[in-house]
Structures are given as C-alpha cells and as structure tokens.
Amino acid sequence: MPSVPARVDAGGDPELAARLTAALRAASGDDIVIESLTHPFHSYPARMHPATSRELVMLVAESMPPRSILLDPFCGSGTTLVEARAAGLRAIGVDVNPLAVLVARAKTFTVPGRTRLKLQAVARAIAGEVLAAGRQARRATAEVAPLRGPTGFDPNARNRRLAAWFAPHVRRELEDLARHLDTLAKQDSELASVLTAALSAILYKVSSRSSDTDATWIQRNVARGACARWFLQRVELLVSGLQDLSATPGSPPEIFEADMRALGELVPAGSVGGVVTSPPYAGTYDYAEHQRLRFDFLGLRHRHLDQQEIGSRRGLTGLGAGAQWREQLGAAIDALAPLLAPGALAALVIGDSMGAGRAFFALDDVRAVLTSELALVAWASQPRPMLGAAERSAFGERGKCEHVILLRKLG
Ligand SMILES: C[S@@+](CC[C@H](N)C(=O)[O-])C[C@H]1O[C@@H](n2cnc3c(N)ncnc32)[C@H](O)[C@@H]1O
C-alpha cells in the first residue's frame, strides 16, 4: 500500500508554503539522504533531518546573490553546513557548544584526497597500536598505563566523574586512543581534531550512559579491542562521506565557536544571502548536560556553553520561562537581521515544546519577536505525537507541531 503523506498545515505565500511542506515531508520515510555524505558520522540531539535541510538549502540558495554566504547560526553537528558544502555554497556556521564545532568541522573536512588518505592511515596506525597495547596489558607482568590528564582539568576530579561510566578495560583503551591523539595534535592539530570527533562518536556506545539525552546508567558489555575497532570504522565512514562531499568544487565552511548573539563581530552586515537553521526547542534540551561526559573525557572546555546556551531546560524554569524565552529568541533574531542582504530568506526549523510545566508554541513565539526588518512570508506545520497526559493537557486542541518558518529581509 502506498503510504499516506503526513498532514501538514501551511500558510503565507502559496508557492513558498508548498516548498516548506515538501521540506517537512522529505523527512518521513527517507532512508537515503540520512545515510548520505557525512550525515551518519555522529549523533546529536535535535539534529535537523538531512532531507529537510537539503530541500531548504535548495530553496534559500535560489535567491542568494552570487558569492554571498549561507549562514547557520545554530549549526549544531553541521547538517546544513554539509548540505551547503555539497551544493558548492560558501557557508558559515556558529555554535556555542565546543562539541558541535568539533563535529561540524570534521563532517565538512573537504581537503585534498591525499590528506584524506593520511587521515585513514594515521587512524589505522593508532588503532593497531592500541590493539597491540591491549594484548600486552593482558599479560600478568604488564605495568598499568598512567591515565591521561588533559590540560585545564583537575585529574582527580575528572577521574571521579568518569570512573562510573566505563569498564576498566574500556577506559584504558579509550585513554590510550586519546593519548595517541594528544601526540598527533603536536604535529597536526587539524587531523587530531577530526580523529577526536571520531573518538567522540563512539564514546557513548562504549559507556554506561544510556544515550546523549538519557543519563540513566546501564550495563553494557564491551569486548576487548572494540573501542579501537569502532574508532577505526568511524574514521572509515567519515572518510568515505568526505570523499562524496568533495565531489563538488568548493572549500570547507568557516565554523566559529561563539554565542550567535555576538554574530555581528564575526560576519559583516549585509553579507548573508540566506539562512537555514534550527534554533533550540524551548526548555527541551540541555546540551551542557547531554555532552558533559564527552567534555570530561575529551577535555573540551564548556564554560561559554554553560553560560550562553539559550532555550536550555536548566535555564528556563518557573513562571517567567515564557517571557525569558521570548527575550532570548528576540535577541537571536535581532542579531541575525542586520547580517542579511535585502531580500534574503531565512528558514527556521523549530518545534513546539514543553518546559517549566507549560507549552511553548514556536510559531507564536517567532511572530512575537519579529521586528520591522523581517517579514514572515510562509510557514508549514506538521503535527507531532504527544507523549503523555501532561503534554496533551498543555497543548490542548492545537496539538504539538514541528514548523518550518520562512522569513524575508525587507529593504
Ligand atoms: C536544535 S540544535 C541545532 C542542530 C543542528 N541543526 C544539527 O543538525 O545538528 C540547536 C543548537 O543551538 C546551539 N545554541 C544554543 N544557544 C546558542 C547560542 N547562544 N549561540 C549559538 N548556538 C547556540 C546548541 O548548542 C545547539 O547545537
């Protein structure tokens, strides 16, 4: 039986609304785009669906002046940057999360073929040495290797935080991989960063943390040697995706670790020809918490994320949460507007959410913070299942939706 396309409500300019509807629908049932290029490399909470991103990049690019920039100011793991790179566009990404930046840079590392080969060769050598060291460590006479101490982290506190999450043999193997990457970083920091992203990609799979968004402790049986083997497989997956991504001429996007509300310091006014982005879903995620284990293990500093993440669950609490979110979203839109060239389109993928015991209706929130520089030209909204009684009561008859909202810069 042919599947019935999911219901989507849309409004505004009919032609553009139809394109937004197609972008939302592209995600349902897609199992091709999601596995293409470097998309499957690393998990990321609330990642944009690559098929939706592809449609939106195509739509926004149609009205971009030549050589102008496609911007994703909340780039996360870089889905839109990958699609922009595949389309041969000049792109800039910004995120306040150091892990997002590490992953997005790795996923768009479109360097000459010989550098990709080197990446693969170095990963093979490191995995080989770690496997050999593991075999050696199983001999009764072997000495216990010292644990790493990333600079800026108190080694004892780091140890206490990590100890519960990894079986001793897994921890030893992971630290050994990371030690090799520390050495590599002294000769080639770029390659070391890309390989660190590959190590990050397997970290939760070998830990006792249930998933990125669920910190429940679970028993996981990880075979000896699995960390080194999975690390290498992840690098091979990345290299193959990067090869496909490099088929279009162009260069990697520029990616900044920054608070997007300070974008004016990074991107010249009027230089952005289009935006495709997905801002945080109010009160739903807590990237600082979701990735704390990765930060601790990899030695990534996250003070700015802790202070500047907008829309986080930990930041939006109590009765003032609604007003606080609109203030944060308003500041984000205000930072974005001056960068856009006249006529530029900005596509926002954003979901209704529940936080601080109340519903946040994303389309209402975006409308409420728009200033005279930007017009809402079209939108499409797809109903989302509601998970429990609390959501059903908070969302009521309107239900909960995922939206694509299209803004145009006036002037
Ligand atoms: C919905 S996610 C984006 C996911 C991304 N589209 C992807 O496909 O991976 C929202 C992102 O906003 C980032 N963020 C939150 N506050 C920010 C801020 N003040 N400046 C820049 N990025 C921020 C979060 O770190 C998170 O990566």
Residue of minimum CA distance from atom 3 in ligand 1: 76
pLDDT at 1: 44
Instruction: Tell me, using a 6 A CB cutoff, whether residue 312 lines ligand 1.
Output: no
Q: Which atom from ligand 1 is nearest to the alpha carbon of 100?
A: 27
Instruction: Tell me, using a 6 A CB cutoff, whether residue 351 lines ligand 1.
Output: no
Q: In 3D, which of 272, 267, 274 has the Cα closest to residue 63?
A: 274
- Eight-class DSSP state of 370: -
- Tens digit of each residue's pLDDT, the chain (411 residues): 445 567 899 999 999 999 999 999 999 989 999 999 999 999 999 999 999 999 999 999 999 998 899 999 999 999 999 999 999 999 999 999 999 999 999 999 999 999 999 999 999 999 999 999 988 877 766 565 667 777 777 888 888 888 889 999 999 999 999 999 999 999 999 999 999 999 999 999 999 999 988 999 999 999 999 999 999 999 999 999 999 999 999 899 999 999 999 999 999 999 999 999 999 999 888 888 888 899 999 999 899 998 999 999 898 988 889 999 999 999 999 999 999 999 999 999 999 998 888 899 999 999 999 989 999 999 999 999 877 888 899 999 889 999 999 999 998
Instruction: Tell me, using a 6 A CB cutoff, whether residue 260 lines ligand 1.
Output: yes
Ligand 1: distance of its center to the CA of 202 in Å? 21
Instruction: Tell me, using a 6 A CB cutoff, whether residue 44 lines ligand 1.
Output: yes
Phi, psi for residue 359 in degrees, rounded to 5: -90, 140
**Per-residue DSSP letters for 214-264?**
---B------TTHHHHHHHHHHHHHHHHHHHHTTSS--PPEEEES-GGGGG
Q: For the chain, which residues make up each domain, given as ranges?
A: 9-101+253-291+321-409, 113-245
- Specify whether the backbone of 291 is left (phi greater than 0), alpha (psi in -120 to 50) or beta: alpha
pLDDT at 145: 61
Ligand 1: distance of its center to the CA of 187 in Å? 31
pLDDT at 142: 58
Decide: residue 299, CB within 10 A, 0-12 exposed, 13-18 middle, 19+ buried.
middle
Rounded-to-integer distance, Cα 230 and Cα 127, Å: 9
Instruction: Tell me, using a 6 A CB cutoff, whether residue 77 lines ligand 1.
Output: yes
Ligand 1: distance of its center to the CA of 63 in Å? 25
Rounded-to-integer distance, Cα 369 and Cα 342, Å: 19
Q: Which atom from ligand 1 is nearest to the alpha carbon of 287?
A: 25
Supply angle C-alpha 32, 38, 40, rounded to 5.
60
How far is C-alpha 356 from the geometric centre of its chain's CA atoms?
24
pLDDT at 160: 85
Q: Which atom from ligand 1 is nearest to the alpha carbon of 328?
A: 19
Pick from 92, 300, 309 the residue to mutate for probing ligand 1's pocket: most ligand atoms within 8 Å of its CB. 309
Residue 395's Cβ-side half-sphere holds a number of Cα atoms within 13 Å equal to: 21
Q: Which helix (H) or strand (E) holds 331?
A: helix 321-336
Rounded-to-integer distance, Cα 6 and Cα 112, Å: 42
219 in Cβ contact with 42 (< 8 Å): no
CATH topology of domain 9-101+253-291+321-409: Rossmann fold (3.40.50)
316 in Cβ contact with 355 (< 8 Å): yes
Residue 213's contacts (CB-CB under 8 Å, 6 or more residues apart) are 45, 285, 290
Instruction: Tell me, using a 6 A CB cutoff, whether residue 91 lines ligand 1.
Output: no
Decide: residue 115, CB within 10 A, 0-12 exposed, 13-18 middle, 19+ buried.
middle
Residue 345's Cβ-side half-sphere holds a number of Cα atoms within 13 Å equal to: 19
Residue of minimum CA distance from atom 7 in ligand 1: 47
Ligand 1: distance of its center to the CA of 406 in Å? 18
Instruction: Tell me, using a 6 A CB cutoff, whether residue 95 lines ligand 1.
Output: yes
Ligand 1: distance of its center to the CA of 77 in Å? 8
Strands 9-12 and 374-384: antiparallel
Rounded-to-integer distance, Cα 22 and Cα 16, Å: 10
Rounded-to-integer distance, Cα 404 and Cα 20, Å: 6
Residue of minimum CA distance from atom 10 in ligand 1: 280
Global pTM reads 0.95
Phi, psi for residue 91 in degrees, rounded to 5: -135, 155
